Chain A
């Protein structure tokens, strides 16, 4: 449904007389299948929005090609526009308009007749549980309500592909869960959904497949389960008093390890074998122990092994 090869974009930013080139996206290859929820996971500044804006015809790539829902991005951006929906990271509603007005206008911009647009607006308002607020000005909505209006605007013309840039950022846990349900409903209706996120649990729970992006490049792609399986072995998490983290790290230099505020995480072949050895090493160094946990790698661990940094901390 989406196929990109070597997409690139750099920005020149001027600070006084200095020109600085930021390579925001450096060669992105993607394949997104029809009817899946595809996730773009990456820290701030990874290039997620820039990639989406290129695919949504808002900025022209410096290099590379893409086909979206059968239309060629470079040769026929107009056709791409007709086939996609796009919901920007920063929202898209006007304070003094009502949700219904925005939806009707949006639908008509895609060519719907007046009566058709009204019917569509009614339908999506219902679908997104917005009927109650439909005729109030957008500035009176809560963050979650406003985000739902944004998404309703992005799908009112029933596109084959919809791009959602951080649909759940800034929402409370309950609204996020609701939003996940909405997004799954879009998939159930046959849409291909492309979302960006920097929440690990979101990528894990919601997405059929993900690509992890860092620094303008895709560092890993697959289903969440595949990616986690790629990291062989187990993660041992040792909880420690805060001032014992450094000594513990020194005692365990022979392991692949990551330190956190009140714990260290070790990546080992076989947890059951490694735990006694770890305990012995810590004991020998006189490090007081808190807790020891053994778990399967998370997406954060995937990110860590691919980039050398933790997504939680970047």
Chain B
């Protein structure tokens, strides 16, 4: 199948380039690891939970979702560099599937995110976090959907604005309120009613709740399927839109 074939070509090239400088994956986890080491110890007293393990059950899923959102949103910068080098234009005169141009790149982002998530999960195990493997895999699926969506959005926006100077403030403006209104770092349990009301409209807040439920071991919670469903729908929409931007004339 052509789409599959083309996607794997683009994906392989992108992975090859990524693995040539794997240090970027480590740079990407540096900040979350700092949070894990320096911020998380404050959590047990702050969240008033009896054990470290419980504090990490709340904090680590938030941290991972945060990583997925931000990691994805800033992928557009790489694409702008490729636009400037003429690589995208060169692809666009070939008969390659436009959807593959997007998916090959976004899937690379998903893989590098999952690699980072594994590093963080392993570290958290050292701090007494315990999670069932099937639940963990479902949580990774959630992260994969988030990063697929955010990276596709970032690529689409990059193709529209075509300059780093416009992309950076735009992504920051989107990311900040999304971050603050999702209860990512601290759950919104203690938030005033209006804040919780606003957060209900933030899809990422659903994703965080679902991921937390999985880490808690509460597979049956409706948060899980709701979060996954919302992220899946948004990922499909984002991919569809960004692929159309690839197909449209650039410049």
Contacts and interface: CB of A to CB of B under 8 A. Distances in A.
B249 A60 contact: yes
B93 A93 contact: no
A92 B9 contact: no
A109 interface: yes
A91 B9 contact: no
A58 B93 contact: yes
Contacts of A84: 93
Contacts of B85: 91-95
Contacts of A286: none
B96 A109 contact: yes
B13 interface: yes
A78 B17 contact: no
A85 B92 CA distance: 11
B91 interface: yes
B86 A109 contact: no
B16 A91 contact: no
Contacts of B90: 86, 88, 92, 106, 153
A94 B93 contact: no
Contacts of A153: 90
Interface in A62-108: 78, 81-82, 84-86, 88, 90-97, 101, 105-106, 108
A303 B108 CA distance: 52
B6 interface: yes
A92 B92 contact: no
A16 to B, nearest CB: 15
Given A94-B82, A101-B16, A109-B6, A57 B93 contact: yes
Contacts of A57: 92-93
Nearest to B84: A90
Contacts of B96: 109
Given A101-B16, A105-B9, A109-B6, A92 B89 contact: yes
A78 B95 contact: yes
A78 B250 CA distance: 16
Nearest to B94: A109
Nearest to B17: A96
A196 B82 CA distance: 24
A87 to B, nearest CB: 9
Interface residues of B, number: 22
Label chain B's interface by main secondary structure.
helix
A215 B58 CA distance: 65
A56 interface: yes
A290 interface: no
B86 A88 contact: yes
A8 to B, nearest CB: 15
B93 A59 contact: no
A84 B90 CA distance: 12
Contact of A94 (B6, B87, B95): B87
Contacts of A58: 89, 92-93, 249-251
B16, B17, B85, B92 pick with most chain A CB within 10 angstroms: B85
Contacts of B249: 58-60
Contacts of B87: 92-94
A110 to B, nearest CB: 6
Contacts of B21: 96
Interface string B95-119: 1100000000000000000000000
A56 B250 CA distance: 13
Interface in A98-141: 101, 105-106, 108-111
A144 to B, nearest CB: 17
A97 B15 CA distance: 12
Choose among A78, A85, A105, A111 the residue with the greatest number of B CB atoms under 10 Å from its CB: A105
Interface of B: 6, 9, 13, 16-17, 20-21, 82, 85-87, 89-96, 249-251
Given A82-B95, A101-B13, A109-B96, 20 more contacts: A58-B89, A58-B92, A58-B251, A59-B251, A81-B95, A86-B90, A88-B90, A90-B86, A91-B85, A92-B86, A92-B87, A93-B85, A93-B87, A95-B85, A96-B17, A96-B21, A101-B16, A105-B13, A108-B9, A109-B91
17 contacts: A58-B92, A58-B249, A58-B250, A59-B251, A88-B89, A88-B90, A92-B90, A93-B85, A94-B85, A94-B87, A97-B13, A97-B17, A106-B90, A106-B94, A109-B6, A109-B94, A111-B95
A-B residue pairs, 5 tightest by C-beta: A92-B86, A92-B90, A109-B94, A86-B93, A59-B249
Interface of A: 56-60, 78, 81-82, 84-86, 88, 90-97, 101, 105-106, 108-111, 153
